Amino acid sequence: MKHTKNRLLRHFLLILCLGCVFSCKTTDEPITGLITEHAMVVSAHPLASEVGKQILQNGGNAVDAAIAVHMALAVVYPEAGNIGGGGFFVIRQNDGSNYSLDFRERGPLLAHRDMYLDEDGEVIDRKSIKGHLAAGVPGAVDGMVKAYERFGSLSWEMLIQPAVELAEKGFVLTQGEADKFNRTADNFREYSTVNPLHFTGKDWKENDTLVQTQLANTLKLIRDQGRDGFYKGQTATYIVEEMQRGEGIISYEDLEKYESTWREPLTGTYKEYKVITMGPPSSGGIIILQMLGIMEDREVSNVGDSYADYIHLKTEMERRIYADRATYMADADFYPVPVNELLDKNYLSQRFQTFNPNRATPSDEVGAGKILSMSEETTHFSIIDPEGNAVACTTTLNGGMGSSVVVDGAGFILNNEMDDFSIKPGHPNMFGVLGGEANQIEPGKRMLSSMTPTILEKDGQLFMVVGTPGGSTIPTSVFQAIVNVVEFGMGMQQAVNEPRLHSQWQPEVISYEKGGLDEQIKSLLEEKGHHFNERSGIGRVDAILVLPDGRLEAGADPRGMDEAFGF
């Protein structure tokens, strides 16, 4: 299979639109994404979106399509799509019932609090980021099996077979994909115990075909044996042997004991909208509900100088909320995360008493709130099926290409999620986020995440499915997509295309996409005491909006190869 010229042209035109949006705040012509009557799949790769569409056309439901898309992304988008990582599902059925599935990775049984510190108690550079010790116990395959057991309708084999064929027959690379494999080849050679020649064996060029025979065989075992095709038998042996060669600590017992978990979704309201999102061990759901809760009673606008006031408000919320994240958020199975207290209106009001509309609050003056009682590589896809069932799924290896360890014999990349633990209180992770005791390393514990798969209802009806990759920028990117639609009146594609900004407690800067901030707005914010960091694209939001007439509009992020398919 290969991308058609029309498909590449669409991506080129979307990038031109994005450049136009960045260079001028408003445009005369509205930007509209793909609109369909019945069903939609939006993911980080056109081949995966096409697989999801075919599953829906064959009578599958949204969860069927999600499983097939997830497995296809493990083949065609290996820097983040995976069977060696984990993630979260948020599901809304057409009867209004909602569910969330936590298939986040877990710390191995031999993991311990100080495993990345030297004899002086100092952090060993990159030990939690690259190599075998960086990997948590993968949850992705168990998560797909659990979702299928509860909601699947087509045969399991039918859902896995498209990924098998993509791996076995190969797929044609774009220039960007070829460049990506060339850039990461040295890391694969350094950190894998056996050189993964299917990634490193040539100087990749546009239109080359990537064949992944080992991965195809692993997917066949999963297709034929389900969960046991990964956590037991030949694949488990390959994983453990890889660990032993690379001085890692994931064991047969870790694999056998891994369980994904159904959890109550985290829900809240914003005006006439119901927000259905992910609770701990995700911090993202709490963060967007806190931000929406603070903003609900305030007027915001993206017109003229008022846009600077909105950015100031958003930044001040982010500084306070990310301080809360560092102190209170973790795996609720191991730490009593005070979710209700963090979302309480009185608490949020108290947190914002020091807000000054004319001055930025220095981060060293911001700490976590006082609780009186305590009870950047990832991928996202959004799906709505013809019956109105919806899935938001965010899944990850953590950093791009994860730990850079390819399991010899099995052909897949292991995550580097252990870096999402607080490896030392006050030490930032690879995304610059600080952590504390709540998120310390413990055996069997799930590391704190920023992934924020989210579904919105309006007046009791399905309204939006949204999510993004981006490390610590995930919650703020989801927040901006929601605000762009519900407050600023944008369609889904325009909301996704809009330039994004991000801030957190530390470092004390507003990050903005290159060319994405008007100089006059920037000057107004500098007068309030804000500092800036220009960077490349923030997130890759893939979302679906239900239009007033019931049709579906996709928002496929032009920052990547993301594409929507539907009918």
Hey, which residues are catalytic here?
A: 378
Picking from 201, 219, 207, 206, the residue whose alpha carbon sits closest to that of residue 165 is: 219
CB 84 within 8 A of CB 407: yes
Query: What is the bridge-based pairing of β-strands 273-277 and 35-36?
Result: unpaired
Measure the N-to-C terminal CA separation of the chain; round to a whole number of Å. 21
Residue type, 388: G
Query: What is the bridge-based pairing of β-strands 86-92 and 98-103?
Result: antiparallel
Type and span of the H or E element at 144:
helix 140-151
CB 79 within 8 A of CB 377: yes
Nearest-angstrom CA–CA distance, 24 and 314? 21
Residue type, 511: S
Beta strand ranges found along 134-220 (DSSP E): 171-172, 209-210
Nearest-angstrom CA–CA distance, 10 and 31? 13
Nearest-angstrom CA–CA distance, 169 and 181? 18
Give CA 359 to chain center in angstroms: 32
Which residues contact residue 22 at a Cβ distance below 8 angstroms, ignoring those fewer than 6 apart? 499, 513, 514, 515, 516
Give CA 310 to chain center in angstroms: 25
DSSP character at residue 349: H
Which residues contact residue 12 at a Cβ distance below 8 angstroms, ignoring those fewer than 6 apart? none
Gyration radius of the chain over CA positions: 22
Give alpha helix (H) positions in 489-561: 492-497, 519-527
Give alpha helix (H) positions in 430-491: 474-486
Picking from 482, 475, 281, 488, the residue whose alpha carbon sits closest to that of residue 380 is: 475
Nearest-angstrom CA–CA distance, 405 and 415? 8
Picking from 182, 112, 99, 185, the residue whose alpha carbon sits closest to that of residue 146 is: 99
Q: Write phi, then psi, for 405 (nearest 5 degrees).
A: -105, 120
Residue 428 DSSP SS3: coil
Angle of CA points 99, 103, 109, to nearest 5°:
140
